[in-house]
């Protein structure tokens, strides 16, 4: 097996609106997720299978507890920390002038991470548009591009020196499909025209951020060898029936809509044909100017961030007429030529997400080929489940298994010459999950949300990851579950857990 080299990034990821809190502090003003969670606040009863939409005003209070959280990261032994930043904290209004306290917060965070030899890996935007910008049209308006460019310029100038690995956006696909095609997340547009506009303006925003990144390099604000990527959640397609031509055809179509549409514009600098077909149908040709296409071509990004949770089993539309007892109803993703289906004989998480580590490996080969061996980093990979705390300890063997099997696939991909530069699990700490609130647990560090200080505690998986990083080239098939559980239990007395 290929060895992980010294520079390989072992990291954890998380995101401002999901953990930061301090939403009314430090000169920050509201964003669309503040409004959404206030207006749609809902806590289901225990065991009621409904979506929890809870307050994010304090969340895990990372805003106040980040110094101690960095101590915890240092104990874990990671050399990276992926953080999706909060635009509204830095640009709380439309003056174009940044909020010094907001910049200072991130500066302190990044400085303190570096002090502990942890590289911050910032992502500029994760679905959370400042309200002032939403009022002007948000992501489906051209104004967004100009404002994002200004935000990026300010961030790179002040904070650029703290990292050599940056990302523009997290999951444009999830954001636009759930918030513009559908009304599941804010700003709840449910409007296909707005959707296609948002797709284009988000892509253009990343290109303009790259322009600012290059300028910041010239001006010495960002290191010459720093790289800027785009983060995408691709679900590689698996045919429902391997021998069925229609299912296979639908898989190809699905990959075009789920992968090419989102990565080609910023990595190859061009749209796949389907984009032009779709906007033509919507009578939206005018939104794409010649100048835009030139900018996409000129400012391509350097790095692929891949959020891999699950692949998608794909069936052709004909299956809708067949009597199949699916585990969940088939759903489509933008196109009606391919359906994501849920056969009963598969492994699923508590939230019915398919578990298939091997597709991380298969998918990475496709990424390598399509995007010319650009560097890849796993930015999110994790399992959202109910945790059980017994005698003060969450013994999350299911999480250890899930993560371990996926990291093995990264190792296998390295062996095949795939240019993986890092792996970041989701998440460092329990979060507010968009689809499950605080009860859908992802963290390897737990947060006691019933405690007024939001006390942290280690789960068994924390010690599994610590051990894996320390012995990165050991045999990962031998997992000593008892050891990790004991370590978590013994560690509870340490002062760090507060």
Interface ranges with ligand BG6 (CB under 6 A)? 15, 18, 170-171, 174, 233, 307, 380, 384, 433-436, 440
Q: CB nearer to ligand BG6: give 424 or 433.
A: 433
Strand 335-341 relative to strand 331-333, pairing: antiparallel
CB of 459 to ligand BG6, least distance (A): 17
CB 97 within 8 A of CB 140: no
CB of 35 to ligand BG6, least distance (A): 17
Q: CB nearer to ligand BG6: give 385 or 411.
A: 385
Per-residue DSSP letter, 273? H
Q: CB nearer to ligand BG6: give 63 or 299.
A: 63
CB of 235 to ligand BG6, least distance (A): 11
Beta-bridge mates of residue 437: 433
CB of 303 to ligand BG6, least distance (A): 17
Q: How many CB atoms lie within 10 A of CB 49?
A: 8
Report d(CA 250, CA 245) in Å as an integer: 9
CB of 440 to ligand BG6, least distance (A): 6
CB of 6 to ligand BG6, least distance (A): 29
DSSP letters, 154-182, are: HHHHHHGGG-SEEEEEE-HHHHHIIIIIS
Q: CB nearer to ligand BG6: give 184 or 476.
A: 184
- Nearest by Cα to 123 from 184, 169, 79, 88: 169
- Nearest by Cα to 429 from 412, 413, 410, 442: 442
CB of 13 to ligand BG6, least distance (A): 8
Report d(CA 400, CA 404) in Å as an integer: 6
CB of 129 to ligand BG6, least distance (A): 15
DSSP letters, 283-335, are: T-GGGS-HHHHHHHHHS--SEEEEE-S--EEEE-GGGGGS----SS--EEESE
Q: CB nearer to ligand BG6: give 4 or 17.
A: 17
CB of 439 to ligand BG6, least distance (A): 11
Residues in contact with 46: Cβ distance below 8 Å, sequence separation at least 6, in sequence order: none
- Nearest by Cα to 289 from 213, 201, 210, 211: 201
Q: CB nearer to ligand BG6: give 223 or 435.
A: 435
DSSP letters, 61-116, are: -HHHHHHHHHHHHHHHT-SEEEEE--HHHH--STTS---HHHHHHHHHHHHHHHHT
Q: CB nearer to ligand BG6: give 177 or 260.
A: 177
CB of 243 to ligand BG6, least distance (A): 32
79: tokens are 């050399």
Strand 445-447 relative to strand 456-458, pairing: antiparallel
Q: CB nearer to ligand BG6: give 229 or 384.
A: 384
User: What's the N-to-C CA distance of the chain in angstroms?
Assistant: 39
Residue 476: how many CA atoms within 13 Å on its side-chain side? 26
Q: CB nearer to ligand BG6: give 279 or 383.
A: 383
Q: CB nearer to ligand BG6: give 440 or 459.
A: 440
């Amino acid at each position: 097996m290929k060895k992980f080299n010294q520079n390989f990034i072992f990291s954890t990821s998380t995101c401002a609106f999901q953990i930061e809190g301090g939403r009314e502090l430090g000169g920050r003003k509201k964003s669309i997720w503040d409004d959404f969670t206030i207006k749609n606040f809902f806590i289901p009863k225990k065991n009621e299978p409904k979506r929890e939409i809870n307050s994010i005003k304090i969340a895990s209070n990372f805003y106040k507890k980040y110094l101690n959280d960095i101590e915890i990261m240092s104990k874990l032994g990671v050399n990276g920390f992926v953080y999706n930043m909060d635009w509204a904290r830095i640009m709380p209004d439309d003056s174009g002038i940044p909020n010094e306290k907001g910049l200072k917060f991130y500066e302190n965070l990044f400085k303190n991470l570096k002090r502990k030899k942890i590289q911050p890996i910032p992502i500029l935007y994760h679905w959370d548009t400042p309200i002032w910008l939403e009022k002007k049209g948000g992501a489906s308006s051209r104004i967004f591009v100009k404002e994002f460019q200004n935000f990026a310029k300010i961030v790179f100038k002040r904070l650029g020196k703290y990292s050599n690995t940056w990302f523009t956006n997290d999951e444009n696909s999830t954001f636009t499909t759930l918030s513009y095609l559908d009304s599941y997340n804010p700003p709840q547009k449910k409007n296909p025209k707005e959707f296609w506009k948002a797709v284009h303006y988000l892509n253009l925003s990343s290109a303009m951020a790259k322009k600012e990144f290059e300028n910041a390099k010239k001006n010495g604000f960002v290191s010459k060898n720093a790289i800027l990527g785009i983060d995408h959640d691709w679900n590689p397609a698996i045919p429902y029936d391997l021998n069925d031509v229609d299912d296979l055809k639908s898989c190809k179509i699905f990959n075009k809509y789920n992968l090419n549409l989102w990565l080609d514009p910023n990595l190859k600098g061009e749209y796949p044909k389907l984009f032009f077909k779709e906007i033509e149908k919507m009578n939206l040709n005018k939104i794409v100017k010649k100048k835009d296409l030139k900018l996409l071509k000129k400012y391509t990004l350097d790095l692929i961030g891949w959020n891999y949770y699950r692949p998608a089993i794909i069936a052709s539309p004909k299956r809708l007429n067949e009597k199949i007892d699916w585990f969940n109803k088939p759903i489509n993703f933008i196109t009606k030529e391919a359906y994501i289906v849920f056969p009963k004989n598969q492994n699923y998480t508590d939230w019915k997400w398919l578990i298939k580590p091997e597709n991380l490996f298969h998918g990475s080969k496709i990424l390598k080929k399509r995007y010319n061996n650009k560097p890849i980093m796993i930015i999110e990979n994790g399992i959202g489940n109910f945790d059980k705390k017994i005698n003060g300890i969450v013994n999350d063997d299911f999480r250890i298994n899930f993560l371990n099997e996926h990291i093995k696939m990264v190792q296998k991909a390295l062996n095949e010459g795939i240019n993986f530069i890092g792996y970041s699990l989701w998440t460092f700490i329990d979060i507010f999950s968009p689809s499950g609130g605080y009860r859908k647990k992802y963290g390897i560090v737990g947060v006691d949300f019933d405690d007024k200080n939001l006390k942290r505690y280690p789960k068994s998986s924390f010690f599994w990851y610590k051990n894996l990083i320390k012995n990165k080239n050991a045999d990962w098939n031998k997992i000593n579950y008892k050891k990790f559980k004991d370590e978590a239990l013994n560690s509870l007395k340490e002062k760090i857990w507060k």
